Structure 1
Amino acid sequence: MTSDFSEQKLGDWFQANLSDHGTMTGVTKFPGGQSNPTYRVSTTAGDLVLRRKPFGDLLPSAHAVHREHRLIAALHPVGFPVPKPVALCRDEAVIGAEFYLMEAIEGRTYWDGMLPEQTPTERRAIYEAAITTLATLHSIEPEAVGLGDFGRAGNYFGRQVDRWTKQYRAAQTETIESVEKLIEWLPRTLPEQGRTSIVHGDFRIDNMLLARKSTSVLAVIDWELSTIGDPLADLSYFAMAWTMSSDGHSWIGDADFTTSGIPSLEEITAMYCEKTRRAEIPNLHWYFAFNMFRLVGIMQGVKRRMLDGNASSANAEDAVARLKPLAEEAWVQARRAGAC
């Protein structure tokens, strides 16, 4: 589809601020994505990608595209695979919302974590590349790249549980018993934070762009939830895919880990430990419950925006349909972690 804002206004802004990038010739919205809408901006000097805030009333602290821009501007110079940032515009008068531009990367996105078109060797290589990339991110000292103040130090999970409880409440449309139980249980059982690192916040197989003819990671994308926090939040979020049955997206819990080439959960956690010099990983059930609760908060925000007419994707209804089952699975994980 084409854009849903004034291309004329964007073109005028582009000519006034980015004339060295040629002349803008068109805008096309990418499909998918429930949060910050994303577009391909065609120019005479090559394609760019635009990410903007959603239109309409938004939940507090959500959709902070300026943080995304700051993050990739810090990581790109040190060689971490992210798109090169081009410009940030916080003037909502241009297209109706804040946005930023980055260089387009022509890679491949694997939407289905089962990787049905790949060979077993390729599947294993792709997941190994993902774990290596995540470990590399967690090895970057925030202060060394100017991100020391990108998030508050310590008590990461306590702050996150509080944040997503507030976000859920602000968007709440009904009472879901399993969510109410999680809101009561999670703050009482917070794990101790060991290490601190840059956290992506949504690290999964379909948030990477890989080379078309190899398994090299060209870019990690969608940094909206990035902050400074506990790296186990990222690892457990990625590992959560192993706990859920395949849904055509990133979940792979019913894969045959003997023959498919996809590493088992034990294998990927061992890889991560080796690359980050950890002796072991704690029991992940609490972390799975937390991450599922966080996803429920995100999906509830999608539901609220859909009801308000501001959903950013045609697939919003599908995401909303998964809200209650995910909340129930989060409570299953909580019970495995000791909740009763």
Structure 2
Amino acid sequence: MSTGQNEGIDVEVLSYWLVKHVKGFRAPLTIERFPGGQSNPTYKLITPQKIYVMRTQPPGPILNSAHAVDREYRVIKVLGGTNTPVPIAYALCEDPDVIGRSFFVMDCVPGVIHWQPDFPDVARADRANHFDAMNIALASLHQVDPDVVGLRDFGKTGGYLERQIRRWTRQYEIDPEAGRLERMDILAAWLADNVPDDDEVSIVHGDFRCNNLVFHGDRAEVAAILDWELSTLGHPITDFAFHLMMYRVPPGIQGGGLKGMDLTALNIPNEAEYVGAYCRRTGRDGIPHLQFHVAYNLFRFAAIVHGIKGRALRGNASSGRALEVAAVLETFVDLAWSEAGLAGLR
């Protein structure tokens, strides 16, 4: 009745639950896991009438605050009543007797995912419109009032940047195998000492990039924003700056970026144009501290890569993988260092 690796999921028990909780669901059911490294495993639920998506916690013990699929379900469900494009969220299950872990079920949105930020699989004439579609989608999210949609308690409402800087500094400092980098120490201290005094609050996605978006197959429009695992209440410009890193990162680094590319030849808006479009859509005259937010996001990414380096070294200290990750780490430290304006320091 099923194909592929179901990872211990009892298809009969899951089908029974789906019949009871997802309107219109009808067996038989086939389960296929989506490829990729999602920290929350994601499955395609295939029936003769319709295809659904199930997003689950990973099997086995997890930390209390990790892999909170209930938060993902909640934000997607709420945003379904706004202009922000999200899949239809059908049902959440927190009963371990069904598949052994919490999960939720949502619509499988048809469309196209573009994996590279220069959109090489899109016709040149259409690329600018695809960038505009990304801009519209993120601006629409940041325009949603958390109080109005019932997400006032979705996260703390103040000090977001301070908390994030402390979190990623600790994450970097507690991994002894990967070692300490003097420039990372200086960056962490500089960020903590220079947090802008503009504590805006909005719903933030936390990982907004082209490969977390489903585009309509026949037009330049975002059909759904995916992967809400990192969503919370936070600073909208920090969220926007993460997305904007595509302009500051060179091709071939952690999924690649646009730095050094001929954007005019590619028919891709430059960074100033892209920022201007976001500002118009969110009612801003400009973004005074954008450079800080970009520097923070590059530091955060460096801290993540630092952790990957530590795990690689613990697995095999002489592996080529560890050397490869170490080179990527140096690149992100260089980028963060430059964005923070610390090039004159040694």
Question: TM-score, with normalisation over the residues of structure 2?
Answer: 0.85
Q: How does 1:191-202 map to 2 (within 5 A)?
A: 191-202=196-207
- How far apart, in 1, do the equivalents of 2:64 and 2:171 lie? 8
The runs of 5 or more residues in structure 1 that have no matched partner are: 310-314
- How far apart, in 1, do the equivalents of 2:310 and 2:125 lie? 42
Residue aligning to 1:279: 285
Q: Is 103-112 or 327-336 further displaced after alignment?
A: 327-336
Q: In the alignment, which of 7, 22, 26 is matched to residue 4 of structure 1?
A: 7
1:269 maps onto 2:264 in alignment: no
The runs of 5 or more residues in structure 2 that have no matched partner are: 316-320
- How far apart, in 1, do the equivalents of 2:272 and 2:158 lie? 28
Q: In the alignment, which of 81, 84, 87 is matched to residue 85 of structure 2?
A: 81
1:121 maps onto 2:125 in alignment: yes
Residue aligning to 1:231: 236
Kindly tell me the number of residue pairs found equivalent between the two proteins.
335
- How far apart, in 2, do the equivalents of 1:317 and 1:81 lie? 40
Residue aligning to 1:184: 189
Residues 138 and 31 of structure 1: is their aligned pair in 2 closer, same or farther, counting only changes over 3 Å? same
Letter of the 1:39 partner, please give it: Y
Residue aligning to 1:35: 39
| RMSD across aligned positions (CA) | 3.0
1:59–1:170 CA contact under 8 A, matched in 2: no
Residues 173 and 74 of structure 1: is their aligned pair in 2 closer, same or farther, counting only changes over 3 Å? farther
2:212–2:227 CA contact under 8 A, matched in 1: yes
Letter of the 2:35 partner, please give it: P
Q: Is 291-300 or 37-46 further displaced after alignment?
A: 291-300
Residue aligning to 1:312: none
Q: In the alignment, which of 89, 100, 105 is matched to residue 101 of structure 1?
A: 105
Q: In the alignment, which of 221, 224, 247 is matched to residue 226 of structure 2?
A: 221
Q: How does 1:198-209 map to 2 (within 5 A)?
A: 198-209=203-214
Q: In the alignment, which of 94, 114, 129 is matched to residue 110 of structure 1?
A: 114
Residue aligning to 1:153: 157
2:177–2:313 CA contact under 8 A, matched in 1: no
Structure label with greater radius of gyration: 2
Letter of the 1:205 partner, please give it: C
Residues 142 and 116 of structure 1: is their aligned pair in 2 closer, same or farther, counting only changes over 3 Å? same
Residues 134 and 165 of structure 1: is their aligned pair in 2 closer, same or farther, counting only changes over 3 Å? same
Q: Is 212-221 or 156-165 further displaced after alignment?
A: 156-165
Q: How does 1:299-310 map to 2 (within 5 A)?
A: 299=305
Q: In the alignment, which of 67, 74, 94 is matched to residue 70 of structure 1?
A: 74
Residue aligning to 2:318: none
Question: TM-score, with normalisation over the residues of structure 1?
Answer: 0.87
Letter of the 1:222 partner, please give it: D
1:66–1:100 CA contact under 8 A, matched in 2: yes
Secondary structure of the 2:104 match is: strand
Percent identity of the aligned residues?
A: 36
- How far apart, in 2, do the equivalents of 1:239 and 1:142 lie? 23
CA distances 1:163-211 after superposition (whole Å, capped 9, x unpaired): 3334445666422404333333321211122432111111111111001
Secondary structure of the 2:240 match is: helix
1:256 maps onto 2:251 in alignment: no
- How far apart, in 2, do the equivalents of 1:12 and 1:167 lie? 42
- How far apart, in 2, do the equivalents of 1:85 and 1:261 lie? 35
Structure number with greater CO (CA < 8 Å, separation at least 6) is: 1
